[in-house]
């Protein structure tokens, strides 16, 4: 016996559809995301889903936009209560990424699948590029507010190391992982300290950054 269908306002229905799509990606994988699967999860007809999202591409874009908006709010909440000191704000931000966010199944589960999707799907790749560009620019500006003598290029390099560290730790200490780093609690806060030390290091005068030196070899 099917559940009775609930009448919703258009915005409520779109939000429900988006949330069901995210849940499918996390719980079943990106390959399981179809408009029919979403319709079943929302207990509505396929036509009702297509009224809001004519195809899977538009739905996936809405999912990504919802994640971007959610991150904006969660980032703000993570640092809004901190002191005005730029270094403390960045420390809180990195702590949020490494110590909290990657431990959430909703975050790690989505990105495990999203990385796979972006490797094969040009649209997903484009969407991931936008998401990471937004993240890198945010972190670059925070780095530069602390180490004002860095060039934009060097600040971006250090931002890249912070973002890469968070993603790498997602694979080794994130939701669902049980590596030795998790069992011995060896990474989280020490990694935050190491990254903050890296941010504060002066730029080498007349020398390429380590990342640029690798590129030139």
Q: List per-residue pLDDT tens for the chain, 217 residues long.
A: 455 556 788 899 999 999 999 999 999 988 899 999 999 999 999 999 999 999 988 998 899 888 878 877 877 776 665 667 899 989 988 998 898 889 988 888 888 888 988 888 888 888 889 889 988 999 999 999 999 999 999 999 999 999 999 999 999 999 989 999 888 887 788 999 999 999 999 987 654 455 554 454 4
Residue 189, domain member (yes or no): yes
Residue 172: which of 112, 92, 116 has the closest Cα? Answer: 112
pLDDT at position 184: 86
pLDDT at position 82: 61
Count of domains observed in the chain? 1
Residue 23, domain member (yes or no): no
The pair of structure tokens assigned to 61 is 């874009």
Residue 9, domain member (yes or no): no
Residue 10, domain member (yes or no): no
pLDDT at position 54: 94
pLDDT at position 70: 81
What CATH code is carried by the domain that includes residue 69? Answer: 1.10.357.10
Residue 80, domain member (yes or no): yes
pLDDT at position 49: 95
Residue 28, domain member (yes or no): no
The pair of structure tokens assigned to 168 is 């790498």
Residue 24, domain member (yes or no): no
Helix (H, G, I), strand (E, B) or coil at 211: helix
DSSP 8: -
pLDDT at position 212: 52
Whether the CB-CB separation of 117 and 127 falls below 8 Å is answered with no
The pair of structure tokens assigned to 217 is 């070899």
Domain that holds residue 167: 57-202
Non-local (6+) Cβ contacts of 170 within 8 A are 102, 108, 111
Residue 137, domain member (yes or no): yes
């Amino acid at each position: 016996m099917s559940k009775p269908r609930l009448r919703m306002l258009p915005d409520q229905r779109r939000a429900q559809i988006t949330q069901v799509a995210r849940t499918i990606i996390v719980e079943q994988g990106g390959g399981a995301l179809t408009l029919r699967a979403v319709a079943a999860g929302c207990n509505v007809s396929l036509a009702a889903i297509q009224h809001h999202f004519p195809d899977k591409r538009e739905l996936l874009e809405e999912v990504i936009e919802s994640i971007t908006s959610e991150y904006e709010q969660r980032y703000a909440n993570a640092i809004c209560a901190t002191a005005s000191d730029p270094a403390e704000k960045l420390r809180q931000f990195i702590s949020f990424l490494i110590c909290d966010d990657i431990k959430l199944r909703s975050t790690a589960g989505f990105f495990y699948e999203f990385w796979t999707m972006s490797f094969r799907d040009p649209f997903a790749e484009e969407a991931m590029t936008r998401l990471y560009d937004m993240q890198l620019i945010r972190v670059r500006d925070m780095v530069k507010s602390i180490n004002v003598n860095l060039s934009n290029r060097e600040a971006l390099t250090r931002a890249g190391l912070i973002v890469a560290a968070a993603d790498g730790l997602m694979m080794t200490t994130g939701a669902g992982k049980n590596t030795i780093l998790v069992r011995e609690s060896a990474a989280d806060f020490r990694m935050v300290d190491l990254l903050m030390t890296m941010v504060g290091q002066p730029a080498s005068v007349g020398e390429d950054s380590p990342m640029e030196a690798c590129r030139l070899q």
